[in-house]
Structure formats: C-alpha cells, structure tokens
C-alpha cells in the first residue's frame, strides 16, 4: 500500500501526566504520524512531525493568540483549520476561517482544511454543502498556494460517535472533492478521511481511495494508533 498520511488530532483529551506517558509509548512511530497536540504541549513533542490545532486570524499583537509566524518559527509545518467542533462550539465565521487560511499560507504552513456535512443526508445534498463551503474558502486562494492545502473530509455526525460513514458513500464524496478542486485549480491535492477512524475500522477504511486519515480520539490511545499505523503501512 502506498504511503498514506496519518494525522493524529489529540485535541485536549490528555492532561500533562497523560501526555508524558503517551510520549514514551509512541517513540517507535514518531516518524509515521503528524501529531497535532494541544498547543501547551507542543514543546514536549519536539522532534516529532507536528501541526497545530488552530492559529489566530489576527496579525497584530494580541495577548493569548498564537500567530502563524510563531508556529512557523518553531519549525512546525501544519495547521488544522475549519474543524467542525470549532465552527459549532466557537461560532467561527467564514471570514475568520479565510483570514486564518491567508495567514497560514503567507507563512508557508500547510493547511489541513476540514470540511463535511453536519447531519446525515443524501449524496447530492452533501455534495452541495461541501462545494458551497469550498467556494466560500479554498476556491478564493491564489492558485500558486493550492499545493499547501490538504482537505480532510470529516462528516460532523461521525466525529467521536464511533460510527463511520458508508464506504461507498464516502468514496463518492472524496472523488467529488478531488474533482471539484481539479476543476477549479487544474491540479490534484491530497484528501484525507476523518470521523471515528480507529483500529476497529481501519481494515475497511483503508480500502478507500484517500491519501490518508485524520484520527481523533483513537489517536490518544497509543495501542490503537500503532495498530492503525501497522495496518496502513
């Protein structure tokens, strides 16, 4: 199997002692995964391939904000933007999302852009939702920057639910996303799948024609993450 991208979105599940224990357990797979820990633990992951869960949409000095330039200065290459949890729980607007994307690309960060329908719906409705979201955001960036965009397809209802989407439905959505990007930019980009990815379902999910997986809660369990890595690699 080709080398697929594995992104571990650790969110804020683990406290400090948990994180120290986790770091000791994942040493042997550190080169196989892009880890996205809580910002306060980033320095603990020094030497790992890293991303951040968010950046500021502001450019000016603002207490408490983490700018794209600060992230880049630490040698971090990835930032996750537009995760459904932030859109829903923090009411992030499209304007804020676009400013974050601009800041990230200006500082040569690779954007893992999350997109997906909120509720379960039929294929045509899902495609319409996703296309409209892409038109509002990714379609507006400069064509020269598209190489720094990675799409993570994450239907919100599948996140943390333990329920994964139908494989055939998911494959059709992924193909739709790839075609939409190609039609707009005349180039191909990577598309990941996320939404309750775990070692319990990776054998079926790895049949998807995707470029990798965005793993949430299951990635905080070192054994589960190792099993996913072994299955894909």
Domains in the chain, CATH or no CATH each: 5-232 (3.20.20.70)
| For the chain, percent of residues with pLDDT exceeding 70 | 97
Q: Using CA atoms, how far apart are residues 178 and 193, in angstroms rounded to an integer?
A: 12
Average the pLDDT over each of 92-106, 128-142, 159-173, 217-231 and give the range with the smallest value.
159-173
Q: What is the pLDDT of residue 119?
A: 85
Inform me whether the pLDDT recorded for 10 exceeds 80: yes
Strand partners, 9: 36
- What is the pLDDT at residue 53? 98
Q: Which residues of 5-42 are buried (b: 16+ CB within 10 A; e: fewer)?
A: bbbbbbbebbeeeebeebbeebeebeebbbbbbbeebb
At residue 163, the pLDDT reads: 60
Q: Is 105 helix (H, G, I), strand (E, B) or coil?
A: helix
Active site residues: 83, 154
**Residues paired with 212 in a beta bridge:** 5, 192
- Pairing mode of beta strands 78-81, 5-9: unpaired
**CA gap 204, 185 in Å, rounded:** 31
**Between these two residues, 120 and 92, which has the higher pLDDT value?**
92
Instruction: Report pLDDT for 162.
Output: 61
What confidence score (pLDDT) does residue 161 get? 59
- The model carries a pTM of 0.95
pLDDT of 118: 85
Q: Is the pLDDT of residue 175 over 50?
A: yes
Is the per-residue pLDDT at 154 higher than 90?
A: yes
What pLDDT, on the 0 to 100 scale, is given for residue 74?
Answer: 96
Check pLDDT > 50 for residue 1: no
pLDDT of residue 214: 97
Give, as one character, the DSSP assignment of residue 162.
Answer: S
Does the pLDDT at position 164 exceed 70?
A: no
pLDDT of residue 2: 64
Q: Average pLDDT of the chain?
A: 95
Query: Which three-class secondary structure state does DSSP give residue 152?
Result: strand
pLDDT band (50, 70, 90) for residue 206: very high
Q: Is 131 exposed, middle or buried (0-12, 13-18, 19+ CB in 10 A)?
A: middle
Of 4-18, 78-92, 162-176, the poorest mean pLDDT is in: 162-176
What confidence score (pLDDT) does residue 177 get?
A: 98
What does the pLDDT read at residue 127? 97
- Res 195: pLDDT: 86
């Amino acid at each position: 199997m080709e080398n697929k991208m594995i992104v571990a979105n650790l969110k804020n599940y683990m406290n400090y002692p948990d994180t120290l224990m986790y770091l000791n357990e994942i040493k042997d797979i550190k080169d196989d995964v892009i880890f996205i820990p809580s910002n306060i633990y980033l320095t603990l992951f020094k030497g790992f391939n890293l991303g951040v869960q968010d950046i500021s949409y502001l450019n000016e000095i603002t207490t408490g904000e983490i700018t794209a330039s600060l992230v880049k200065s630490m040698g971090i290459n990835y930032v996750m933007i537009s995760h459904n949890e932030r859109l829903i729980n923090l009411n992030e607007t499209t304007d804020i999302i676009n400013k974050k994307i601009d800041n990230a690309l200006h500082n040569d960060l690779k954007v893992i852009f999350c997109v997906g329908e909120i509720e379960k719906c039929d294929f045509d409705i899902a495609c319409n939702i996703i296309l409209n979201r892409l038109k509002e955001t990714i379609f507006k960036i400069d064509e020269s920057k598209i190489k720094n965009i990675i799409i993570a397809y994450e239907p919100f209802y599948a996140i943390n639910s333990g329920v994964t989407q139908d494989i055939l439905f998911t494959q059709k959505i992924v193909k739709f996303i790839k075609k939409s990007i190609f039609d707009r930019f005349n180039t191909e980009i990577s598309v990941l799948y996320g939404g309750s990815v775990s070692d319990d379902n990776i054998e079926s999910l790895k049949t998807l024609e995707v470029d990798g997986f965005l793993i949430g809660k299951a990635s905080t369990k070192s054994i589960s993450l190792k099993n996913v890595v072994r299955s894909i690699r």
